[in-house]
Amino acid sequence: MRFVNKRLLVPAVALALLAGAAIPAGKLWPRDRPASSGPSSSEHVRTQVPPATPAAATPAATPAAMPQATPEAVPAASVTSDVYGQEQADVVVFGSELEGLYLARAAADEGLKVQILDPRSAFGGQLLQGQMLFLDETRDEKGKSLVQGRAKELFDGFKSGKIRKLSEFTAYMNKLAAGIPLESGIHIQAIHTTDTAAARQSITSVDYTTADGQQKHIAATYWVDNTDFAALLSRLKTTRLPGLEKLYGQQHIEYMGAGMMMAFKNVDWAAFNHTFNDLSAGEKKARFGGGYVNDSFAIGLSGMTQAYKPTNERVFLRGLNAVNQKDGQVLINALLVYTVDPSDDKSVAEAVELGQRETPLILEHFRKTLPGWAHAELNGLPAYPYIREYNHYEMDYDLQMSDLLSGKMNWDDVSIAGYPIDLQGTSANKWGIEMGRPDKYGMPLRSFLLKGYDNVIAAGKNVGASAIAFGSARIQPNTSLAAESIGVILGRIHGKQTLRDLQPQDMRALHEYLAAHDHIQLEGIAGANKLVGWSADEIGKLNDGAIIYTTYKHHNPSPPPTPSPSPRPSQQPSASPQAHATPGSKSAAPAAAGKKQTPDKPAKQPDGQTQPTPSAAPAPDAQ
């Protein structure tokens, strides 16, 4: 939807000048996009950048393509437009991934003018376009849910069965974005920045083109990257953190495998559930490789999936994460596609083609091996992959393994997170590996503020984290809560302070407001420290991947102390090397690069999925 003042037009000459602002795009795979040149003074300058490259390439047409979700119409009044093509907002959010929509919604509800500019051609990102409708709830080691804020409605609906189908997720997403101006299919043409007194930069405005070629210019106070390919961050003066290629000793950039969701219909789930659970443990192991099935979910069955032989080395069928969508419909997250670059149209199209080609063959395998699946059929093929990972860029603070496993809490936390440190498969290690299981830990505001910039916020999978820590930090409830908290904070400090001005006493007041107004609790929470007695050298190797926590035998002669709750905002973050040492300087491949390494308890299936209790939604590694 576009918002145009029809009474005034920009002269054709101005349009022509703006159209010439773009320079050719550089290829990002396997090397990172070069940073744009910085401004030479504190004056308003134009930073030339390559146009955004949304992965909108369309794969080979298929009559079974899944319907694409579309947002509801929203009014234009939320963003001011002085003249045609000239826009002003308080917050601009690039992308329509779920996590950043929580920020947009919270900021708008606090009275800010918010606009969403989506480089993708369709709304909803991972959830609606990637069809990743198998939600993964975050829990602490005692099984207590860590989901807070607006995301709780979504996860409660998923667990209860009220939100399982695409139409139900679409309705939820539309409600989340209602009333916020949204433009899909935009291309970033130029970014205008200034130098600040603190030797950082600040974005003042952005030039972009709409899907139909209109030139626009928007100014804002804050800018949020909520895309799955760092559409904004990759065009700034940023530092890319080492990725999984460092862990596995590779020379080329490596990301976790993308997922192609598989949707089926005419499945007799009751027969599937009853037949499976009528078997003895030994029979389940022999026929399916173990696993778990209940009324709503099927987890693992990795022996059955291992028996399937893919037709291409770039695809892999791991253990099942299947959800019963009701009415004979089933959605499965299990098909991985390796070496997918979400910033490259061709790479995305190849992934979709590989997934669409393999899914019918997998269906035939399921028909032959799974009870209740004899008459199953395809229920559409997604036209976009589920992107797990892209480049990691340096933030003011980048989460490390030791932060997670020590249960570190921070004075500026915007989320209380938890989840196994789960690295899904790559071309170098197709099964992936689990690096440890935190209890719970804090995610500080600093991990969402781009280093070197005053007003750039990272949302969702753009969180500042090492490639290893990202295995846990990436999970939706963790970064959704952070985004919502940041959106509320932006509204509360508007016109009075900036995010970087905030001091411990300010965060205390903001935490109290979040607790009272939004039912978000960020203080007084203790995370278990699993690194008591570790040396600085051990911590460094842990952060660097040279020590695999799940297999490492650390001798700790003294019992761990009772974990302390999150510090009051008047305290500075602990600098104890015991939990927060600098990562080591040498990289090392995991000690075992075959199937995922797992701790003694709880038992984990080779696909990385803990067996849930009948009353609970699935636990780790649905994602």
pLDDT of residue 219: 98
Q: What is the b/e burial string over 243-278, where b = at least 16 CB atoms within 10 angstroms of the residue's CB?
A: bbbbbbebeebbbbbbbbbbbbebbbbeebbeebee
Structural contact between residues 324 and 269, judged by C-beta atoms closer than 8 angstroms: yes
Nearest CA to 408 out of 570, 583, 578, 585 is that of 578
CA-angle at 622, arms to 617 and 623, nearest 5°: 135
Phi first, then psi, for residue 250 (nearest 5°) are: -100, 160
Q: Is the pLDDT of residue 175 over 90?
A: yes
Q: Is the pLDDT of residue 534 over 50?
A: yes
pLDDT of residue 554: 80
Structural contact between residues 588 and 315, judged by C-beta atoms closer than 8 angstroms: no
pLDDT of residue 556: 57
At what angle are helices 476-493 and 504-518 packed, to 10 degrees? 110
pLDDT of residue 555: 63
- pLDDT digits 0-9 by tens, 586-600: 333 453 333 343 333
Pull the structure tokens for residue 78: 């939320």
Pull the structure tokens for residue 421: 């440190």
At what angle are helices 151-160 and 166-177 packed, to 10 degrees? 160
Q: Exposed, middle or buried, 203 (CB in 10 Å: 0-12/13-18/19+)?
A: buried
CA-angle at 34, arms to 33 and 39, nearest 5°: 135
Nearest CA to 461 out of 475, 444, 447 is that of 475
Q: What is the mean pLDDT of residues 438-460?
A: 99
- Of residues 49 and 27, the one with the higher pLDDT is 49
Helix (H) or strand (E) holding 543: helix 536-544
Residue spans of alpha helices (H) in 69-150: 98-109, 125-128
pLDDT of residue 568: 38
pLDDT of residue 297: 98
Q: Is the pLDDT of residue 368 over 60?
A: yes
User: Pairing mode, if any, of strands 45-48 and 80-81?
Assistant: unpaired
* Torsion sign over Cα 388, 392, 396, 398: positive
pLDDT of residue 84: 52
- Cα atoms in the Cβ-side hemisphere of radius 13 Å centred on 350: 14
Give me the amino acid identity at 311.
T
pLDDT of residue 199: 87
- Cis peptide leading into residue 569 (ω within 30°): no
Q: Is the pLDDT of residue 415 over 80?
A: yes
User: Pairing mode, if any, of strands 182-184 and 114-118?
Assistant: parallel
> Can you state the percent helix, strand and coil of the chain, rounding each to 5?
25, 20, 55
Flag the least confident range among 5-19, 461-475, 568-582.
568-582
List, in order, residues 6 or more apart from 144 with CB less than 8 Å away: none
Rounded-to-integer distance, Cα 362 and Cα 357, Å = 10
CA-angle at 341, arms to 337 and 346, nearest 5°: 90
- pLDDT digits 0-9 by tens, 312-342: 999 999 999 999 999 999 999 999 999 999 9
Residue identified by tokens 């959106």 is 487
Question: Which one-letter DSSP state was computed for residue 501?
Answer: G
- Cis peptide leading into residue 342 (ω within 30°): no
Domain ranges of the chain: 258-378, 401-450+470-580
Rounded-to-integer distance, Cα 622 and Cα 611, Å = 11
Q: What is the mean pLDDT of residues 202-229?
A: 98
| Mean pLDDT, the chain, integer | 83
Q: Is the pLDDT of residue 358 over 60?
A: yes
Q: Is the pLDDT of residue 66 over 90?
A: no
Pull the structure tokens for residue 465: 């984290």
- pLDDT digits 0-9 by tens, 477-529: 999 999 999 999 999 999 999 999 999 999 999 999 999 999 999 999 999 99
Nearest CA to 596 out of 584, 586, 604 is that of 604
Report DSSP letters for 434-462, one per residue. E----S-EEEEGGGGBBTTBSSEEE-GGG
Structural contact between residues 437 and 551, judged by C-beta atoms closer than 8 angstroms: no
Rounded-to-integer distance, Cα 339 and Cα 351, Å = 9
Q: What is the mean pLDDT of residues 72-89?
A: 54
Q: What is the mean pLDDT of residues 229-248?
A: 97
pLDDT of residue 85: 73
Residue spans of alpha helices (H) in 292-443: 302-306, 345-369, 401-405
- Of residues 46 and 401, the one with the higher pLDDT is 401
Q: Is the pLDDT of residue 1 over 90?
A: no
- Cis peptide leading into residue 567 (ω within 30°): no
Q: What is the mean pLDDT of residues 135-149?
A: 98
Residue 23: band (very low, low, confident or very high) from pLDDT cuts 50, 70, 90: very low
Nearest CA to 222 out of 519, 486, 561 is that of 486
Nearest CA to 177 out of 222, 136, 118 is that of 118
Q: What is the mean pLDDT of residues 529-541?
A: 97
Q: Is the pLDDT of residue 275 over 60?
A: yes
pLDDT of residue 623: 63
Q: Is the pLDDT of residue 397 over 80?
A: yes
Residue 197: band (very low, low, confident or very high) from pLDDT cuts 50, 70, 90: confident
Residue spans of alpha helices (H) in 342-475: 345-369, 401-405, 470-473
User: Pairing mode, if any, of strands 456-458 and 215-225?
Assistant: parallel
